[in-house]
Amino acid sequence: MTTKTKAPSEALLLEIAAKHFHLETLETRNSDSLDFHDVSVWSIRAALEATFAAGQAAAR
């Protein structure tokens, strides 16, 4: 995967994580309070659905 194709993917993943999990970053920060989060199953489902839809859109 090239940098050009990877960068939008990273941005999209962060956008989904921010929207559904209220995360500021997907980077490891070596702090339990920053790296581990309680997340509802409906938030996980919504994030997975958004990711799946983004993959389908990218395949078109």
Sign of CA dihedral 42, 44, 47, 49: negative
Q: Could you give the CA distance from residue 44 to residue 48 in angstroms, rounded to a whole number?
A: 6
Residue where the block lists tokens 């939008």: 8
pLDDT at 20: 97
- Assign 1 a pLDDT band (cuts: 50, 70, 90): very low
Report which residue type is found at 17.
Answer: A
pLDDT in tens, 2-58: 445 555 689 999 999 999 999 999 999 999 999 999 999 999 999 999 999 999 998
**Is-contact 20 27, C-beta < 8 A?**
no
pTM recorded for the entire structure: 0.77
8-28 core/surface letters (b: 16 or more CB in 10 A; e: else): eeeebeeebbeebbeeeeeee
